[in-house]
Amino acid sequence: MNEIIESVKNLSIGFNSQKGKQISILRNVSTNIKKGETVGIVGESGSGKSTLALAMMGYIKQGLFPLKGECLFKSEDLLKMSSRQLEKIRGRKIAMIPQNAGQALTPNLKIGYQIDEALKLHTDLNKTERDKKISELLNKVRLPSPETMAFRYPHELSGGQQQRVAVAMALAGKPDLLLLDEPTTGLDVTTQAHVLELLRFIAKDTGTSMIYVSHDLGAIAQVSDRIVVMYAGEIVLEGPARKILKEPIHPYTYGLLKSIPKLSLAGLPASMPGSQPQPGSINEGCSFYDRCNLANDNCKKNSPDLEHIKELDTNVRCFNYKELLNQNNNLQTSITKKSNNSEANEVLKLKDVSISYAKQKFFDQLLNKISDQNPTVKDINIDIKKGETIALVGESGSGKSTILKSIAGLLKTKDGQIKFEKDRILSSDLKKRNPNDLRAIQLIFQNPDESLNPNHTVEQILSQPLKLYFNLSGDELKKNIIDLLKKVRLGEFYMSRYPRQLSGGEKQRVAVARAFAAKPDIILCDEVTSALDVSVQAAVLNLLQQLKEDLGTTYVFVSHDLAVVRAISDRVAVLYQGRLCEIGPSQNVYKFPSHPYTEVLLGAVLEPDPDIKPKLVAEDIVEEKPPEKGCSFQGRCPRKIGDICNSEVPPWQIGENGNAIRCHINIEELASLQQ
Amino acid sequence: MESNLITEDKQKNKLEKAFEILKTMASKPSGLIGLTIVLFHVVLALISPYIAPYDYKAISPNTMLLAPSAEHWFGTDSLGRDVFTRTILGGRTALTVTFFGSLIALLWGGLLGIFCGLVGGKIDDVVMRVVDAFLSIPWILAMLLIVSLLGTSTEVLIPALGFFYGKGIVRVARAATHDVIAKDFIVSARARGHSNMSIIWNEIIPNVRDAILVEGAMRWSWMLLGFSSLSFLGFGVSPPTPDWGLMISNARGLMSFAYWSVIAPIVGLSSLIIGINLTADAFAKALGIDRSTKAPV
């Protein structure tokens, strides 16, 4: 068990900048991987975690080169090997599972063939043995009906199944070390929980060592024995998983853990100020100095070494870690948010809204109607009160973004009405809406890289809505822009910057400022934090909450992340396949009784706590389209009671907590089942 | 005063940006060579009337088909005209016609392409099928028809060439627009209620400008070749105006014993085309590096 199979010694990797300076991305990294151990490497984007993981299989991205140090795999230096020698090791001794299996699998080859290729390359089995091995592997990764699965093409599989195939391929060569680079990041919550469970099983079953790279401490917590925390190309904390997650003794890890929204906590997570330094901009002193609340003059001048603490079996790179030793009970705290009064007026009302993506037939086009009996989104009734934050939650394909788009007027509704302020019906055609209604509803998008024009300066970006809605120009325009930047806590000097010169969090702040420039009544937030790092996510959530409290804006907040929703929203609507399952005040939706789908979602949430294991109550099947009759969740429901679920749309039941659930099971019975 | 300062600052920024792009282009040997060649031709075209040693249309039976010498550096042609004079003057018409022709091609092709890409639907379908239909007609036949109907003056040649070389740009601009309009910042502008014109002007053009400019630069070199082919066939500029295509055409029968009268215009034409091609390539690379892969350092 204690045999070390790979050891990294003083590794530095860097590149030459355009100015000819040598800039390091990894600095003096040393770590050991023991046999049978799963090591989680965690860090925010740009921390060098992927570079480290790839170097561990002897691969260095183009443009980068090793500056010093070595990567010893069974006492041979991978970085000095020829590509021939590496070929013998990769796949057979060290295998990798990529982030996006959908892209890693060849789209025009059947998956059985692709696994066979890996087997041919890495084993000496003959054809019949290989065939047997393929179904054995497919069985091992728990794919349904492995016999027929081998004859399918990658696109016929869901994201989770593709990831399982990638795992099967990686296992084909019986590797000693498995490298996983964000293997569950693109997957839905329930699928993610299943894949992690599978990985844990495989690690135990085969005794393979694993290196699990992720930005998600929740996922890392579920699989890792040991955790390595990276910051700005350095290891800042390394130790047993439980110790790191429960008693983090490095201020960065501490802050990171605090900035993750948790299901068990209402209120907003605390954010960390600042952002990670860019490679090359690190001067002397501790790289975390700017953001650290324990920092003193010593930290500014001297860079701390990785110090080994025997009693905790932990390595830490901090002068002042002792101050954190006794502080860890504070991890379970959050910022309480002001909740609004529920007496407020309705500002937006969705009445029987259905939306269809089906193409109109010729006659329907003439009659200008849509005759889709089974639309993507059906019968949505939501009343949104002024000043509240209502969240739409669901997995991909639940129709949450579709609803948002039709509120914004970007998608036509099939049936139903969207009413705004005192029952005035908003046209479902954007061109027919009056300018004031357009101003009143603004959108913030998921990815600020896409939602900000890369060729505009921040000033140009923010002046667009100001010019369009308020006809501002000259000094007044400039003054307004500076005010907006101040509101989102950015300085005046950001005006002349281009989006590419900003960090992810800064970009999203500009996007928030642009939405607020219109002085809107309602802001539609489409997964606004899911492209951001956790510490930045917490800051953006806090900013949104602050702006709402100051300006009384209403948010419609779409997210797949139940913990984020828990943190920011007043009310939650759970959607499955474009149909509402449950709606209610957020503190009640997170309590039982809940709709079976909410139960499944809540069970699958990964908390950064090794003691809270996800509960897997439903299969992670992906349904292509909603069922034509009956309950939308009939295909996956763990509490299905019989034919009635397939034939009749369940009624709304209102629980004593005030949350409405759409289920055939009596609400009291549901409560006792879920206890 | 203050707003004035801002605009000045911006203009300076734009100039600086252009200078930076030029610098990047010149930093690679191929770009430097291309830029030098193009610059050389442009300068030559500007100053050639003042430095030409002889009259380009002076015919003399005494100086027919003289080999290169100290008096006639590139020799003389079959009518006794100085080949050096005619060569340095020969680039002027070609450069002017094709430069303005490319501009026209860029303008109409680019704008139509962007418009079709943004609007989509039926308008897009109809316009693109018309463009396809035009693409299927060999341009040289159509050009010959136009030229024989309307004459060979530059006023006819510039718009005609501009039209025929703009068809391809429509497709490029449309494709580039399609890349951009899927992005959220266009959706965002739409949701705010901006007009199509405002979206094209503010959101799309800054993002497709580079692709279209590079395409335009490539078209320029093709147009130059096309223009010279027309002249070669006798449908370009009319004699006695000096022109490379025409010179090659006139001298090709005498190539075996008076090679000098054909070599000079060929070198002029091909070097300019190669120069423009290299420049366009370097331009594309400079823009590409500047916009997408620049490291954050």
Q: pLDDT tens digits for A177-213?
A: 999 988 888 788 888 888 898 898 888 888 899 999 9
Pair of tokens at residue B158: 């510039």
Confidence of residue A116 (pLDDT cuts 50, 70, 90): very high
- Give pLDDT, residue A373: 73
Tally of domains within chain B: 1
3-class SS string, A102-165: HHHCCCCCCHHHHHHHHHHHHCCCCHHHHHHHHHHHHHHCCCCCHHHHCCCCHHHCCHHHHHHH
Residue in chain B lying closest to A464 (CA): B189
Tally of domains within chain A: 4
Same domain, A371 and A413: yes
Q: Name the minimum distance, in Å, from the CA of B219 to any CA of chain A.
A: 25
Output A122 or A330, whichever has higher pLDDT.
A122
Residue type, A640: K
Output A214 or B80, whichever has higher pLDDT.
A214
Note whether B206 contacts A453, CB cutoff 8 Å. Answer: yes
- For residue A192, report the phi and psi dihedrals to the nearest 5 degrees: -55, -45
Note whether B192 contacts A474, CB cutoff 8 Å. Answer: no
Of A269, A301, A332, which residue constitutes the final position of a domain? Answer: A332
In chain B, residues with a C-beta closer than 8 Å to the C-beta of A452 are: 185
Confidence of residue A327 (pLDDT cuts 50, 70, 90): low
| Mean of pLDDT values over A459-469 | 93
Evaluate whether residue B131 is within a structural domain: yes
Q: Which of A515, A348, A516 is nearest to A426 (CA)?
A: A348
Question: Is some CB atom of chain A closer than 8 A to the CB atom of B183?
Answer: yes
pLDDT at A648 over 80: yes
pLDDT at B5 over 50: no
Tokens 């009302």 -> residue: A349
Evaluate whether residue B149 is within a structural domain: yes
Candidates B183, B190, B203; nearest CB to A410: B190
Same domain, A160 and A180: no
Residue type, A95: A
Distance CA A207, CA A646 (A): 44
Of A332, A348, A382, which residue constitutes the final position of a domain? Answer: A332
Same domain, A224 and A310: yes
pLDDT at A564 over 50: yes
Candidates A435, A442, A451; nearest CB to B184: A451
Same domain, A524 and A672: no
Question: Looking at residue A186, which CATH number applies to its domain?
Answer: 3.40.50.300
Query: A28-32, A624-628, B170-174: which range is least confident on average?
Result: A624-628
Candidates A18, A452, A468; nearest CB to B192: A468
Evaluate whether residue B30 is within a structural domain: no
Distance CA A559, CA A538 (A): 14
Same domain, A382 and A461: yes
Q: Which residue of B5, B9, B119, B188 to mutate against A (max A Cβ within 10 Å)?
A: B188
Evaluate whether residue A54 is within a structural domain: yes
Q: Name the minimum distance, in Å, from the CA of B200 to any CA of chain A.
A: 12
Output A39 or A277, whichever has higher pLDDT.
A39
Burial A309-340 (b: 16+ CB within 10 A, else e): eeebebbbbbbbbeebeeeeeebeebeebeeb
Q: Name the minimum distance, in Å, from the CA of B186 to any CA of chain A.
A: 8
> Rounded to whole angstroms, what are the CA distances from B187 to A403, A453, A523, B281?
15, 11, 15, 32
Note whether A454 contacts B207, CB cutoff 8 Å. Answer: yes
Pair of tokens at residue B77: 């042609």
Evaluate whether residue A12 is within a structural domain: no
- Give pLDDT, residue A524: 95
Same domain, A168 and A210: no
Output B76 or A343, whichever has higher pLDDT.
B76
Q: Name the minimum distance, in Å, from the CA of A467 to any CA of chain B.
A: 11
Q: Which of A511, A588, A512 is nearest to A545 (CA)?
A: A512
Strand partners, A72: A7, A77
Evaluate whether residue A77 is within a structural domain: no
- Give pLDDT, residue B297: 28
Evaluate whether residue B22 is within a structural domain: no
- Give pLDDT, residue A523: 94
Note whether A450 contacts B203, CB cutoff 8 Å. Answer: no
Evaluate whether residue A162 is within a structural domain: yes
In chain A, residues with a C-beta closer than 8 Å to the C-beta of B24 are: none
Confidence of residue A441 (pLDDT cuts 50, 70, 90): very high
Same domain, A123 and A240: no
Pair of tokens at residue A6: 């790979």
Evaluate whether residue B250 is within a structural domain: yes
| Mean of pLDDT values over A557-562 | 90
Query: A118-127, B174-183, B253-262: which range is least confident on average?
Result: B253-262
Distance CA A238, CA A114 (A): 37
pLDDT at A333 over 80: no
- Give pLDDT, residue A364: 66
Q: Name the minimum distance, in Å, from the CA of A509 to any CA of chain B.
A: 15
Strand partners, A662: A652
Confidence of residue B244 (pLDDT cuts 50, 70, 90): confident
Q: Which residue of A453, A461, A472, A502 to mutate against B (max B Cβ within 10 Å)?
A: A453
pLDDT at A674 over 90: no
Neighbours of B122 (CB within 10 A): 8
Same domain, A550 and A663: no
Query: A15-19, A126-130, B127-131: which range is least confident on average?
Result: A15-19
pLDDT at B168 over 60: yes
| Mean of pLDDT values over B181-199 | 90
Question: Is some CB atom of chain A closer than 8 A to the CB atom of B141?
Answer: no
| Mean of pLDDT values over A56-83 | 87
Same domain, A315 and A392: no
pLDDT at A161 over 70: yes
pLDDT at B44 over 80: yes
Confidence of residue B296 (pLDDT cuts 50, 70, 90): very low
DSSP structure string for A447-477: -HHHHS-TTS-HHHHHHHHHHHHH---HHHH
Distance CA B255, CA A503 (A): 65
Evaluate whether residue A27 is within a structural domain: no
Residue in chain B lying closest to A405 (CA): B191
Same domain, A279 and A253: yes
Same domain, A154 and A262: no
| Mean of pLDDT values over B86-115 | 90
pLDDT digits (tens, 9 = 90+) for B26-41: 888 888 999 999 999 9
pLDDT at B142 over 80: yes
- Give pLDDT, residue A480: 93
> Rounded to whole angstroms, what are the CA distances from B131 to A528, B167, B169?
41, 6, 10
- Give pLDDT, residue A341: 55
Distance CA A396, CA A291 (A): 35
Q: What is the mean pLDDT of chain B?
A: 82
Confidence of residue A365 (pLDDT cuts 50, 70, 90): low
Range of the domain at A159: 101-174
Output B268 or A339, whichever has higher pLDDT.
B268
Note whether B187 contacts A433, CB cutoff 8 Å. Answer: no
In chain B, residues with a C-beta closer than 8 Å to the C-beta of A451 are: 183-185, 187-188
Evaluate whether residue B13 is within a structural domain: no
Output A270 or B8, whichever has higher pLDDT.
A270
Range of the domain at B71: 50-57+66-293
Pair of tokens at residue A126: 């003959």
Evaluate whether residue A16 is within a structural domain: no
Distance CA A408, CA A437 (A): 10
Evaluate whether residue A405 is within a structural domain: yes
Q: Which of A201, A167, A175, A166 is nearest to A56 (CA)?
A: A175
Note whether B187 contacts A452, CB cutoff 8 Å. Answer: no
Note whether A23 contacts B3, CB cutoff 8 Å. Answer: no
pLDDT at B187 over 70: yes
Same domain, A321 and A205: yes
- Give pLDDT, residue A1: 52
Confidence of residue A282 (pLDDT cuts 50, 70, 90): low
Query: A477-486, A490-499, A619-628, A636-645: which range is least confident on average?
Result: A619-628
8 Å CB contact between A425 and A417 = yes
- Give pLDDT, residue A554: 93
| Mean of pLDDT values over A316-331 | 75
When mean pLDDT is compared over A11-15, A562-566, B102-106, the highest value belongs to B102-106
| Mean of pLDDT values over B101-130 | 92
Evaluate whether residue B29 is within a structural domain: no
pLDDT at A653 over 70: yes
Q: Name the minimum distance, in Å, from the CA of B296 to any CA of chain A.
A: 8
Evaluate whether residue A657 is within a structural domain: yes
Evaluate whether residue B37 is within a structural domain: no
Looking at residue B82, the DSSP 8-state letter turns out to be B
| Mean of pLDDT values over A387-412 | 89
pLDDT at B289 over 50: no
Note whether A410 contacts B202, CB cutoff 8 Å. Answer: no
Question: Looking at residue B129, which CATH number applies to its domain?
Answer: 1.10.3720.10
Distance CA B101, CA A363 (A): 47
- Give pLDDT, residue A583: 92
